[in-house]
Structure 1
Amino acid sequence: MTRFRRRTCITLGIVILIVCSFMLALKSLRPETAAFGSPFGLGLLPEFQKVTVHQEKPSVKPNVKSEHRPQAEMLVSQKPDPVKMENLPPPNYNLHVFYYTWYGNPKFDGKYIHWNHELLKHWDAKIAGNYPTGKHNPPEDIGANFYPELGPYSSKDPSILEAHMKQIQSAAIGVLSLSWYPPQMNDDNGIPSDDLVPHVLDMAHKYGLKVNFHIEPYKDRDDVNLRDNIIYIVDKYGNHPAFYRYKTNTGKNVPMFYIYDSYITSPDKWANLFMPSGPQSIRNTPYDGIFVALLVEEKHKFDIKRSGFDGLYTYFATNGFTYGSSHQHWSSLKEFCDTNNLIFIPSVGPGYIDTSIRPWNFKNTRNRINGKYYETALNAALLVRPSIVSITSFNEWHEGTQIEAAVPKKNAQMKYEDYLPHKPNIYLEITRKWSAKYTKEREQWLV
């Protein structure tokens, strides 16, 4: 028995020695800057390399509308002088972020807008019956799984616009891709917001930022009225110093437009507008530009080429949700674009969760993993050497894709997701780090 115990101890000691040696070998292969367990050997900024904490899923409780006394305040449009940029990184104009101005609160709008988003029903009545309906009831209960550091703000509030521009500039992002509806039009949960564009442009200019337009699928959008709206945008905003222009290979500086849900209009209709021979063609006119289509399915790349678009983007922050949003397809999409003289713009995001407005949609949730999900997406984007990278999003709170600062919050009804154990601005810091990396790598690609 004693001999058996001795052999057992010796064997166990050898196994432990082998395991320890193997772990040391693995550690030596890992980049020194990488956080243990991070995908692709990617680490967060040194001060943020902490272990993942489990976050409880919030519960959504629809409430009746609350009553508030409106205190209307109006923005005053002006073109402020740019602020001095000491201690701030230079803006990277090849890095675009999708930005939304559809939020409102009682002080500036007389009521809450979008923060009181309705709970959307599942299309299958049997499934829909298992989930709550109604609207959220701000300020404690908002239509988001995270809670903004600035609270349920109004996009009309000048201090909010300034705070946003500071955050965006601190992240070394150069371009806001502004969600846009034509005058007197809006999404199902909002109000018209074209009158805010001059104020966004003014504040962006103050921080050295540029603005282009992310045209939403407004009612009855087609080639004819989109042409009219492009002319409207260029005529009204094109001379503003913050209006973004893309430098083409021929040396021209032209406007750039993202066309969301472009696939719902037929390629033949788009060809009327974007092909030089089309009856509504905008090519070789003062309103010509770079027009970027949304790719969802793989077949859309052929439709986009036939339509006469100049490029494609992927928008969605959920890796695997669509063909376009799946990182594994970006290399082949970039190759297709290079072959067909198109611009490929991959869209990266910090995560995805929209169960505050789609309580049945757990399958599309993507955990942020304390920033690692975002860094993995950024790394995947840079691997294909894109001329532009887009970020989904700065402040699309309903879908949990925001990089805007968020804070922990809980009440009797729910506990919001948060960025703990990191600071409220962790995703701005990560963006700033990768913006610098992107700039450095682009310089090498162009040599």
Structure 2
Amino acid sequence: MLGGVQYAAGAVEADCSAGDPGPDPGGDSAEAEAYTSSSGVQSAAHGSASGGATLGYIDDGDWAGYSSLDTAGATAFTATVSSAGAGGTIEVRSGSATGPLLGSVDVAPTGGWETFTEVTTTLTAGTGPLFLRFTGGAGALFDIDRFTLTRAPATEDEGSSNVHLFYYPWYGTPEGSAGSWRHWQQGGHTPPDSIGADLYPKLGPYDSGDITGAVDQHMEWVKRSGAGVIVYSWWGQGSYEDGLAGDVMDAAARHGIEVAWHIEPYGGRTAASVVDDIAYLEGKFGDRPAFYRDAAHGDRNAYYIFESLKIQDWSALDAVKDTAIVLAQTTDTSKVDHFGGIYTYDGIAGATAPGWKNAGDYAKANGLVWAPSVAPGYIDDRAVPGNTTPTLGREDGASYDLEWNNALDPAIGGDPAWVSVTSFNEWHEGSSIEPASSTPPPGHGYATFEGAYGKTGEAAETAYLDRTAYWADRFEQQLRQRR
């Protein structure tokens, strides 16, 4: 949302250049040579290997660690290996090179260092980062190209009700329900080829009222992302977005998605009007299957208040505290009186997480919901030409991983109850995880998701959906361990 960089003004550029690219989306796979700690091993160049290299120079007693790969929930280990040596054994351990042994698999000679085969083993339950330890006879044992940890999904067929995607239903086209272009023309652009965004949607510039087309596709993608809740951008009673809400909720319900609310700073918004809005939304939509209620917090529904700091006195919220979780957008805990939760929204600040630990600790101590916001990147240059807003590059997914890691690290993120994602489809700010076209109209300087998590072409279009599913599962695993 334009102007969303509020609470962390002056946020510095983040270093997202972690040496370990981490697991690939949709499965915990990694290049074996992308270790974060080791003893004895080295990367070995092999033209026929994935990425052109393997984990090599493996002798008896050597090991490699992978700090971004958690063994929690892993049920199997599969590796692509080669050996012109004696062969040996891969031990899968958790926590350290001498940590609990989760499983092991033998590697037989394959006839050459360029001749690869797969080996696999089942794993017992573990916790902590992955370590591989190698045993065998004298000399070089084997090389490992790539490996995968198979997990039992924490979220099963349903998305995580604790991962919330900010969703924008404000788009329109002349042929659609809006009857004219809405939002796509921002920044003085002329749709459909030229739009106010630095990325171009895979669906092209769509109408948010195209329920059986664009919106149904959105809900399929939300489901693929592993998130179970969208946070619907709502601009007041009688607004364009209000008029579409019922149909969008029905589409969400068809895909098992629930809907929370993002109450935006519409004209004349006050604390009292927000209380009226909550009653209005509950009365109008509360009996729909998609209306989100959090069973872990008294079956209350959720309302995120964007730019809550613009109103000083929120005491009117006391009237709804037993039925609604109302979240303030801030990390300043002196500004959350009368609220039931805290979120951040800011897609840039998530890279440094200023105030997150304090906000999370405060929320926990005071019975509030803490829902820090993570984003894959931020750029609004085409939507606001000539502006000086800071940007955050995606760095092929490293920025998104950094923000998720910050949220889930108790020492940084403060044990969130929910994680909110900025955003599913805020195209103006370049924060979307909605698929972006790999072949946008030429001549406009659009970026793409090319290279995200090692994906190219059409495969890259859905890279951020799949990576969100990975992190949603990690979050659910973490929540289960807390309980």
Corresponding residue SS for 2:355: helix
CA–CA separation in structure 1 for the residues paired with 2:462 and 2:388:
26
For residues 271-319 of structure 1, the C-alpha deviation after alignment (integer angstroms, 9 at most, x for no partner) is: 1x123xxxxx3345xxx31110100xx5x31121x3x101110001113
- The question of 1:155 aligning with 2:198 is answered no
Corresponding residue SS for 2:266: coil
- The question of 1:216 aligning with 2:270 is answered no
CA–CA separation in structure 2 for the residues paired with 1:390 and 1:409:
29
Corresponding residue SS for 1:317: coil
Give the gaps of 5 or more residues in structure 2. 1-38, 44-54, 56-62, 70-128, 131-145, 149-154
Corresponding residue SS for 1:193: helix
Which deviates further from its counterpart, 147-156 or 417-426? Answer: 417-426
Evaluate the alpha carbon distance shift between residue 32 and residue 330 of structure 1 in structure 2; reply closer, same or farther with a 3 A threshold. closer
Corresponding residue SS for 1:148: coil
RCO higher in 1 or 2 (8 Å CA, sep ≥ 6)? 1
CA–CA separation in structure 1 for the residues paired with 2:321 and 2:446:
48
Question: Counterpart amino acid of 1:182?
Answer: G
Question: Counterpart amino acid of 1:110?
Answer: G
Alignment-derived partner of residue 391 in structure 1: 421
Deviation at 1:442, TM superposition (A): 0.9
Alignment-derived partner of residue 5 in structure 1: none
- The question of 1:274 aligning with 2:317 is answered yes
Corresponding residue SS for 1:163: helix
Which residues of 2 match residues 190-205 of structure 1 at below 5 A?
A: 192-205=240-253
CA–CA separation in structure 2 for the residues paired with 1:256 and 1:22:
52
CA–CA separation in structure 2 for the residues paired with 1:204 and 1:410:
28
Question: Counterpart amino acid of 1:388?
Answer: W
Give the gaps of 5 or more residues in structure 1. 1-20, 35-40, 49-86, 119-134, 186-191, 276-280
Deviation at 1:413, TM superposition (A): 3.7
Which deviates further from its counterpart, 384-393 or 394-403? Answer: 384-393
Evaluate the alpha carbon distance shift between residue 329 and residue 32 of structure 1 in structure 2; reply closer, same or farther with a 3 A threshold. closer
Q: Which residue of 357, 370, 373 corresponds with 2:383?
A: 357
CA–CA separation in structure 2 for the residues paired with 1:409 and 1:183:
38
For residues 192-216 of structure 1, the C-alpha deviation after alignment (integer angstroms, 9 at most, x for no partner) is: 2211111111011111110011000
- The question of 1:435 aligning with 2:479 is answered no
Corresponding residue SS for 1:309: coil
Alignment-derived partner of residue 111 in structure 2: none
Deviation at 1:440, TM superposition (A): 1.2
Alignment-derived partner of residue 164 in structure 1: 218
- The question of 1:137 aligning with 2:190 is answered yes
- The question of 1:257 aligning with 2:337 is answered no
Contact in 2 for aligned 1:294/1:314 (Cα 8 Å): yes
Evaluate the alpha carbon distance shift between residue 23 and residue 327 of structure 1 in structure 2; reply closer, same or farther with a 3 A threshold. farther
- The question of 1:228 aligning with 2:272 is answered no
Alignment-derived partner of residue 287 in structure 2: 239
Considering fraction of residues, name the structure with more strand. 2
Alignment-derived partner of residue 408 in structure 2: 382
CA–CA separation in structure 1 for the residues paired with 2:346 and 2:300:
26
Identity %: 33
Evaluate the alpha carbon distance shift between residue 363 and residue 110 of structure 1 in structure 2; reply closer, same or farther with a 3 A threshold. closer
Which residues of 2 match residues 29-428 of structure 1 at below 5 A?
A: 30-31=65-66, 89-108=157-176, 109-118=178-187, 135-158=188-211, 159-185=213-239, 192-248=240-296, 252-266=298-312, 269-271=313-315, 273-275=316-318, 281-283=319-321, 288-295=323-330, 298=331, 300-304=332-336, 306=337, 308-319=338-349, 326-361=352-387, 364-384=390-410, 385-409=415-439, 411=441, 413-421=443-451, 422=455, 423-428=460-465
CA–CA separation in structure 2 for the residues paired with 1:314 and 1:303:
13
Considering fraction of residues, name the structure with more helix. 1
CA–CA separation in structure 1 for the residues paired with 2:169 and 2:181:
13
Contact in 2 for aligned 1:257/1:290 (Cα 8 Å): yes
Question: Counterpart amino acid of 1:310?
Answer: G
Deviation at 1:254, TM superposition (A): 1.6
Evaluate the alpha carbon distance shift between residue 419 and residue 245 of structure 1 in structure 2; reply closer, same or farther with a 3 A threshold. same
Evaluate the alpha carbon distance shift between residue 393 and residue 410 of structure 1 in structure 2; reply closer, same or farther with a 3 A threshold. closer
CA–CA separation in structure 1 for the residues paired with 2:349 and 2:192:
31
Alignment RMSD? 2.7
Deviation at 1:228, TM superposition (A): 1.6
**What is the TM-score of this pair, normalised by structure 1?**
0.70
Alignment-derived partner of residue 83 in structure 1: none
CA–CA separation in structure 2 for the residues paired with 1:349 and 1:33:
18
Deviation at 1:361, TM superposition (A): 4.0
Deviation at 1:386, TM superposition (A): 1.1
Question: Which contiguous aligned blocks of 4+ residues in structure 1 show a shift greater than 6 angstroms?
Answer: none
CA–CA separation in structure 1 for the residues paired with 2:374 and 2:321:
30
Deviation at 1:326, TM superposition (A): 3.6
**What is the TM-score of this pair, normalised by structure 2?**
0.65
Question: Counterpart amino acid of 1:302?
Answer: S
Evaluate the alpha carbon distance shift between residue 32 and residue 442 of structure 1 in structure 2; reply closer, same or farther with a 3 A threshold. closer
For residues 333-383 of structure 1, the C-alpha deviation after alignment (integer angstroms, 9 at most, x for no partner) is: 211222222221110000111111223346511111111111111111111
Contact in 2 for aligned 1:404/1:425 (Cα 8 Å): yes
Corresponding residue SS for 1:212: strand
CA–CA separation in structure 2 for the residues paired with 1:336 and 1:313:
12
Evaluate the alpha carbon distance shift between residue 386 and residue 141 of structure 1 in structure 2; reply closer, same or farther with a 3 A threshold. same
Corresponding residue SS for 1:332: helix
Contact in 1 for aligned 2:261/2:302 (Cα 8 Å): yes
Contact in 2 for aligned 1:89/1:170 (Cα 8 Å): no
Corresponding residue SS for 1:432: helix
Question: Counterpart amino acid of 1:246?
Answer: D
Contact in 2 for aligned 1:103/1:155 (Cα 8 Å): yes
CA–CA separation in structure 1 for the residues paired with 2:442 and 2:398:
31
Deviation at 1:29, TM superposition (A): 5.2
CA–CA separation in structure 2 for the residues paired with 1:195 and 1:363:
32
Deviation at 1:140, TM superposition (A): 0.8
CA–CA separation in structure 2 for the residues paired with 1:140 and 1:260:
31
Deviation at 1:161, TM superposition (A): 0.7
Deviation at 1:89, TM superposition (A): 3.9
